[in-house]
Chains A and B, each alone.
Chain A
Amino acid sequence: MVEENALTKKFQKEMNAGIASLALLSVMGQAKEPMYGYQVAKLLEDNNQGAPIMKQGALYPVLRSLEKSGLLASKVEPSVSGPPRRYYTITDTGRETLALWKEIWGQTKSFVDHILKGVTND
């Protein structure tokens, strides 16, 4: 039982690795103005009907790694109260990459759906 649980967790983690980047890049691609982490987390929460697939805290390192790869840019601005906030925007490279990633996602999705529906052997 424990092993099955650990396996499932590992599977979820591995799936999330790519999906989180795609989802966040896509959110940033649609954003009209720079967004900070909490706004992104809130937006994802509001747009998710089922159980959340990942903790909000896990979004932040992904945002940072997207920035390190040059797909997002960020600037820190002081907030009215509390600590300063980091605002993210998508870069041009980010937009180009997003288009490619969407394509890959489309292919992957239809392939996996097709397999899951049942393979024919003729």
Chain B
Amino acid sequence: MTNSVEEYLDALKKELEGSDSATIQDALVDAEEHLTTALESARETQPDLDEEDALDQIIEQYGTPEETAAAYVEVERRTFPGLTPATVKKQGSPLGRFFGIYADPRAWGSLFYMLIAFVTGIVYFSWAVTGLSVSISFAIFIFGLPVALLFLLSVRGVAWLEGRLVEALLGVRMPRRSLLPPKGTKLLERIKVLVTDKHTWLSILYMLIQFVLGTAYFVVLVTVFSLSLSGLAIPILQEVFNLPVVQNYDVHYFLPQWGYPLVVLAGILLWTTTMHLVKWVGGLHGRYAKALLVTD
């Protein structure tokens, strides 16, 4: 029925749609912890057990996504009767839905993510380029290998960190994998895992691409934001501060007053549309990050 822990978590998330986001997060974290631990112990006690059968049995005891979701909602309701968040109702009218974007935490999360991607992009890029060039140039020395391995290890750390950031701001679940292989793994085995895992290399690629994306996000957002803001500001600048729209030496151009509603409206529409776009791009980026950074 359910083939993987991931699948269960997706179903659970769907069941909890509309609940408080902290509750959803708790439920997902708890379920992941329990199912993974149970699966692991099943593997230890019955090594020849089929993975899917084992998972079915575990879920039978844990409860279906539906039952689990109901349990969280119930406890939440009982604990904080006054604080249960009114579920954000989907605005019916197209206009309401269009402006409802300002109440959408995901849109704001994406916006924030895209702005800080400028900074993280620069940091990731510098680190990746430095690490790669140092590793390659030190390869002729005996200590070149440890340096290269340390760099690859740091890439795993960055991938983990970026994953947390993506999950928090873009709302795309990134499965938590431990950074290191289990205790007791031989050093050589660890190194082999690190070097052969394609996600180590894809993470380096991600770090390089993030610079381009981060810069593009930042430039586009700042430009559009300034443009929208200027639309709103023109009436104030002209009427209150007596500043013209265009000023070139002694040529002053003032926008006629009938144009005020038009520029203000254009400013509002432009930014609201951008918020929708930001949310959409945020979702895309999240999926792309998931594909590159974590093992399925």
Contacts and interface: CB of A to CB of B under 8 A. Distances in A.
Interface of A: 13, 17, 36-38, 41, 45, 52, 55-58, 60-62, 64-65, 68-69, 78-86
B71 A38 contact: no
A68 B80 CA distance: 10
Contacts of A41: 34, 61
Nearest to A85: B33
Contacts of B37: 36, 38, 79, 82, 85
A38 B78 CA distance: 24
Contacts of A36: 33, 37
B27 interface: yes
B74 interface: yes
B176 A83 contact: yes
A57 B63 contact: yes
B178 A80 contact: yes
Contacts of B62: 55-57
Given A38-B37, A57-B62, A83 B32 contact: yes
Contact of A57 (B31, B36, B176): B31
12 contacts: A17-B78, A36-B37, A37-B33, A55-B61, A56-B61, A60-B72, A64-B75, A65-B76, A81-B40, A81-B178, A82-B37, A86-B33
Interface string B158-187: 000000000000000001111000110000
B290 to A, nearest CB: 16
Contacts of A81: 40, 178, 182
A46 to B, nearest CB: 12
B52 interface: no
A83 B37 CA distance: 9
A80 B36 contact: no
A37 B30 contact: yes
Contacts, number: 93
Contacts of B68: 55, 57-58
A80 B183 contact: yes
B104 interface: no
Question: Most chain-B Cβ atoms within 10 A of its Cβ — which of A52, A79, A82, A86?
Answer: A82
Q: Give chain B's interface residue range (CB within 8 Å of chain A).
A: 20 to 34
Contacts of A55: 61-63, 67-68, 71
A84 B30 contact: no
Nearest to A62: B75
Interface of B: 26-27, 29-34, 36-38, 40-41, 61-63, 67-68, 71-72, 74-76, 78-79, 175-178, 182-183
B36 A64 contact: no
Nearest to A58: B71
A83 B74 contact: no
A57 to B, nearest CB: 4
Contact of A38 (B27, B34, B72): B34
A58 B30 CA distance: 10
A50 B74 CA distance: 25
A13 B71 CA distance: 10
B36 A82 contact: yes
Contacts of B75: 61-62, 64-65
A44 B26 CA distance: 21
Contacts of A45: 61
A79 B178 contact: yes
Contacts of A64: 26, 30, 75
A38 B38 contact: yes
A85 B30 CA distance: 9
A35 to B, nearest CB: 12
Contacts of B31: 57, 60
Contacts of A69: 79
A80 B33 contact: no
Contacts of A78: 178
Given A17-B74, A65-B76, A80-B178, 11 more contacts: A55-B71, A56-B63, A57-B30, A57-B67, A58-B63, A58-B67, A60-B34, A80-B182, A80-B183, A84-B176, A85-B33
